[in-house]
Structure formats: structure tokens, C-alpha cells
Homo-oligomer: A and B are copies of this chain.
Amino acid sequence: MNKLALSNQLCFSVYAVSRHITSLYRSILEELDITYPQYLVMLIMWEQSEVTVKQLGEQLYLDSGTLTPLLKRLEQKELIIRERSKTDERSVIVTLTELGRSKREHAKCIPENIFKALNISPEEYYSIKNQLDSILKNK
């Protein structure tokens, strides 16, 4: 087998599926007027009311070079507030606005819609997820 062939590479499949998923989210998130990376931040905010940029970065595997401008855009949309910690001014604490909190209701149906669009069984869904997560654990 030719390992230098696109069709034989897992990496390309991951890359292609990742962009495919982002495009599925693009149409679904249009209504919320946010992008997929912004949605990921909102997912965290809906679970944890107060998070630093560092903590967001740890959970999303993203650095401040990506997060700082992204968070500024979410702030402009008035979904979040960014403010320096009073106790440690190196940290920036992110909290939800009332508007941001209210968006959670509109987002509830998104996972189900994405799942339907993927067009796979629940078994496949969790099988793929577990195997990918094991790659992340090994890194």
C-alpha cells in the first residue's frame, strides 16, 4: 500500500471531517450569530459561571493569541464580560452577561441537530469519540 496517498491517511480524514463539522455548525449557529470556536467558549461558560482565559485555554487547547481576539468579539456581541481579577491582575476573568446566559435555551437543540446531520448511529458516535479521545490522552 502506498502510504503517501491521500486516500490512505487517517490524518486527512480527521482534517476533512473537522471542516465538514465546522460547516454544519456554521449554518446552525447562524441564528445565534456566533462561530463554532465562539460556541465552544459559550459551552464552557454555560457550565462554569466564572472562568479565566487560562482555564478556557486549558479546556479548549487554545492559547491567548486565539482566545483574546475571539473573546473581544464575544464581548462586542454583549454575550460575555472580560475583567482583570482583583486578587491577581495577571488573570482576566470571563463571565456571562444576562444575554449570554439566555442564549443557552436557544442552543439546547444544537447537539441533536448536529447528530442528525452527521447521519451515523449513536453506537458509531460514541465509538469514534472514544477512539479520538484516546489519541488526545496519548499526546
A interface with B by C-beta (< 8 Å): 2-6, 8-22, 25, 36, 40, 43-44, 46-47, 59-61, 104, 107-108, 110-112, 114, 118-120, 124-129, 131-136, 138-139
Contact = CB atoms under 8 A, between A and B. Distances in A.
Contacts of A6: 40, 43-44, 47, 59-60
Given A120-B135, A120-B138, A134-B120, A111 B3 contact: yes
A36 B15 CA distance: 10
A4 B6 CA distance: 34
A19 B19 CA distance: 11
Decide if the interface of chain A is mainly helix, strand, loop or mixed.
helix
A125 B5 CA distance: 15
A18 B14 contact: yes
Nearest to A62: B19
B128 A131 contact: yes
A120 to B, nearest CB: 6
Contact of A127 (B43, B119, B120, B131): B131
